[in-house]
Amino acid sequence: MSQRKIDLLAASSIVVANMIGTGVFTSLGYQLFGTAPGFPILAIWLVGGILAFLGALCYAELATRLPEDGGEYYFLSKIYHPALGFMAGFVSATVGFAAPIAMAALALGAYLKGIVPGLDEKLLAAGIVLAISTIHAVNFKAGLSFQKVFTIVKVFIIVVFIAIGFSKGNVQQVNFNPGDWSWEKIVNVGFAVNLVWVSFAYSGWNASAYIAGEIIQPEKNLSRSILWGTMIVTVLYVFLNAVFMMTTPADKMVGVKEVGLVASEYIFGVNGGKIMGGIICVLLLSTISSMIIAGPRVIRPMFGKISFLKPLAATDKSGNPVLSIAFQTVLALVLLYTIKFESLTYYIAFTLSMFTVLTVAGIIVLRIREGKPEGYKAFGYPVTPVLFIATTLGVAGFFMYKNTTESLAGLLTILIGLVMYYFSDFRKKTTEL
């Protein structure tokens, strides 16, 4: 059993920081390829938020019922079979955290390069990953304080940004009235593809489930951190994207990675925009930090049951998984230098959705097998999990059709996890879970 030292504020800040990151500051530029600015874009963000909240309701029950570190690795091992749990853990350790860390660092590097042309964004990204990983490896308490402060600052700055953006008015005359848009303009091929971008932007709503074993009073704080974090972020996302579209010409954002920087220059002027771009860089630091906290809590329990990987499960005197942090950092740096930004997004979103669906389905399995939980119960059961599963599978199926390469790469990663399971001694230790 891990030491419980993470309070509600810290757990909620990890959820918020995991969610508010690369996606919201980069996604809009790619969504505008297939969707008109205005209500059609906001509809995607609203649907993404509802979908995330449905998932959060289910994860809150599972995490409260099974309050140990590991996230999907622990849930799926307990609910289904250790092989499935191992595959989920392998994907979380590779795709789930290392890849988003690389992606957030690349976005941060792109923002810095937009402020100071000529900088090497990949070198900057690598340096940032190394620096934050070192902070968390050397002193967990300092890293946790870093996380709380930067997340509070992040939310405050976004609220101020939204307020100033709305004070400028609807400069671009973007139409947010749903009644003025035909159904075909809102729900089309672009909607499904863009929902993948939005799903990636919302990913992280389950972050506190990965550190469940270290949360104080998990029977109360786990569900609260997941649900509060998801609600806060959904509201911020909708308003933030409305501001981007109201203040900035759509053609200036199409295909642009650093959307926040472009919008900031239209709201605050060139110099003010660069200052705001620098502030967004600070916000992305919080995102990277939160994933560096959560990821090793998946790696440690999983690798601890594999003989040739067991050294990576070692912790320091305070229980901090320093070698797992180092492993994750190296993997993030490799991905940072080898995979393109867009491909990385698609690869992450599709692969993680597979295990998210299985985990949410687990709430139904546990209810049938063990009955209702004594603590937190998912609101709207069984409609909540069924709706989440059906919608996520529908989007994933369409995505496989449109983006076959990234989908196959995700399935290959899952298969590698299965192969590793059968060539390890993990399958001999099912009773130790």
Confidence band, pLDDT 50/70/90 cuts, at residue 98: confident
Confidence band, pLDDT 50/70/90 cuts, at residue 387: very high
Confidence band, pLDDT 50/70/90 cuts, at residue 346: confident
CA–CA separation, 251 and 29 (whole Å): 9
CA–CA separation, 143 and 286 (whole Å): 10
Domains, the chain, with CATH or none: 8-432 (1.20.1740.10)
Average pLDDT, integer, range 300-315: 75
What single string gives the DSSP state of each residue in 53-69?
A: HHHHHHHHHHHHHS-ST
What single string gives the DSSP state of each residue in 265-328?
A: HHHHHHHHHHHHHHHHHHHHHHHHHHHHHHTHHHHHHHHTTSGGGGGGG---TT---HHHHHHH
| Cα–Cα–Cα angle for 116, 121, 122, rounded to 5 degrees | 165
Share the mean pLDDT of the chain.
Answer: 82
CA–CA separation, 107 and 289 (whole Å): 14
3-state SS class at 240 = helix
Q: Is the model's pTM score more than 0.95?
A: no
Q: What is the pLDDT of residues 123-173, one digit of tens each?
A: 988 999 999 888 888 876 666 676 677 778 878 888 988 999 999 889 999
* Nearest alpha carbon to residue 67 among 143, 19, 2, 14: 2
Range of weakest confidence among 141-145, 355-359, 379-383: 141-145
**Given this model, what pLDDT does residue 431 score?**
42
Residue 6, strand partner residues: 215
Q: What is the pLDDT of residues 264-291, one digit of tens each?
A: 889 988 888 888 878 877 777 877 887 8
**Given this model, what pLDDT does residue 164 score?**
92
Judge whether 237 and 45 are in contact, CB under 8 Å. Answer: yes
Q: What is the pLDDT of residues 243-258, one digit of tens each?
A: 999 999 998 998 887 7
